[in-house]
Structure 1
Amino acid sequence: MDEKQTRNKVEVRNLTKRFGDLTVLDGINFNIKEGELLAIVGPTGCGKTTFLNTLSKLMPTTEGNIYINGEEADPKKHNLAYVFQEPTCLPWRTVRENVAYGMEVKGVGKEEREDRATKIMDLVGLTSCADLYPNQVSASMMQRIAVSRAFAVNPDLLLMDEPYGQLDVKLRFYLEDELVNIWRKLNSTVLFVTHNIEEAVYVAERILVLTNKPTKIKAEIPVDLPRPRDLLNPKFIELRKEVTELIRWW
């Protein structure tokens, strides 16, 4: 077993978030291995987006914290990248300039920015539209731009909030394959939140199942399936059913 498989990149300890008397996140604890793609699923309204907002430091926690390489996570020190549900391209910038934007914010030099942007765009098929603007490309292309921009900063932790939820099934599977390809090539640490159980089993190495509010971790499911994954594989179907049963609350 290599170091990637054993070393914790991210540690979440006693993550708690309250809004007045309402407890949304209740003492959540888990680790993410270096280079792991971890999926989070849970029932509608359980607080998945609040969960991501606290992990990304967009929202303060009530108690607990997130640690990266043993240090308290700090956006000024660590690269915390976030891909939202909605495309977040800057309309006045070209595709290439959008992909490079996060690196600009982080102060990466121009030559390295251009080199990284070119490599990422090649990986996700954006090279041919590099000089176009967001209003000249499709919705799936815009989401590719957001994913590329996030990976380009070499994130310590990449948070993804249902990035393909608004796309049709065929496009979703294509982009999920693309995501797995870029994740494997760049060895990034990714936390992928989705309401789609099939998607979670398809992309993740491990799945955490959340409860209803006040939200805790109900179960941890390892996904030991070869890639590329076959939706008709009996083990795939068994895992999908297991996660579905864990989420059901009726």
Structure 2
Amino acid sequence: MSTSADEHAARTQAGDSAAPPDAAVDFDELTQSYRWRGPTGEHADAELRRLEVLHFERFVSQHGGVVSGSGGARGLHAPIRSQKAALTLPPGSAEQLAFFQREEAMRYSSPNQAWVYTLRDGSQSSVSPIGKKSSAVGKAREHFLLRPERPPSVTLLALVRDAAARLPGGEGSRADVCELLKESQYLIGGVNDAQISQVASGALDRLHQEQDPCVTYESERKVWIYLHADRQASDFHALPLSKKSKVASLL
């Protein structure tokens, strides 16, 4: 006798069953994947979604995150895709934004010195000097995403580095970095999310490849980890400023 989806869901939550309902799916030994062979239509889609949510974690743990074959239950991998760039950072308050922008202005007024940002939770995170041997005054190089009246030391690479330094707990998704990047007072208004994402992606890759990288990427959890949070100012002298300037000028 077959088991309905609702009955099976209740049994699964109680720990009585690990396999999907026999009437709805079968298991392909060749492709190591489940196939939906139940009824089709709007009701079936809703039923399949409930099963997907209930079985996802157990399915992955039992079958090692198998890749479905042709006609396989590809939806079982949707939760993984949705987590790759998921935004986990809660929105900050107006007071927090104003406090950060004051610190940011002070940071770029002394570009050749290391800086310590105060994060939303009150903790602190160090960030390296910009690495450009120039004064804090003068004309900045034109860039279509940056305000022309900004300090000359402000580059997209530097802004993304600062955003990574401000990740809560020193880690977060690329979407989290993008959200923190958008808080900078030096970006022009009206920048869309696609442009921000492209900038963050390229800059994070560059920062990861530096001689003294400040970030690393953990592929299993899909997060960027900031590495310099606990450094002292003297710790940033290992990489010559000329080398930093060359890298920073790329963006």
Q: How does the TM-score come out when normalised to structure 2?
A: 0.21
Greater share of helix: 2
Which structure: larger Rg?
2
Greater share of strand: 1
